[in-house]
Amino acid sequence: QAPLSGILQEFERIQREQREANACTERQEWWERRSRLDLRMQSLIQSLDSEVLGCWRGLLLPRDPGNSPLDEQELSQLLQELRECGWDRP
């Protein structure tokens, strides 16, 4: 199974469980569910970042029209990660 497919399935499960948690009337139980869902969402985002986007996540950085989109350190890090992914020439 492709990493993105698994991530999307987990996202759907989190959303479904969030809707179920919203129906919970006991305050403590709601907070416990919410905390568990938050941890799962954090893990999901980290998986998306590392397994799906990888070195290409730099392409999603916002651009300031007046400045370079990356400072020298960020650019150096991005180029290093691109090379690790097999990209030989910038």
Tell me the two tokens of residue 14.
């989190």
Place of tokens 């919203």: 22
pLDDT at site 70: 65
Q: Are 44 and 11 in contact (CB under 8 A)?
A: yes
Place of tokens 């690790």: 84
Tell me the two tokens of residue 41.
């969402």
Residues 6+ apart with CB under 8 A from 75: 68
Domains of the chain, by residue range, sit at: 1-62
Q: Greater confidence, 23 or 53? A: 23
Cα 28 from chain centroid (whole Å): 28
Q: Greater confidence, 30 or 63? A: 30
- Rounded to an integer, the average pLDDT of 27-47 is 94
Distance spanning both ends of the chain, measured CA to CA: 31
pLDDT at site 69: 61
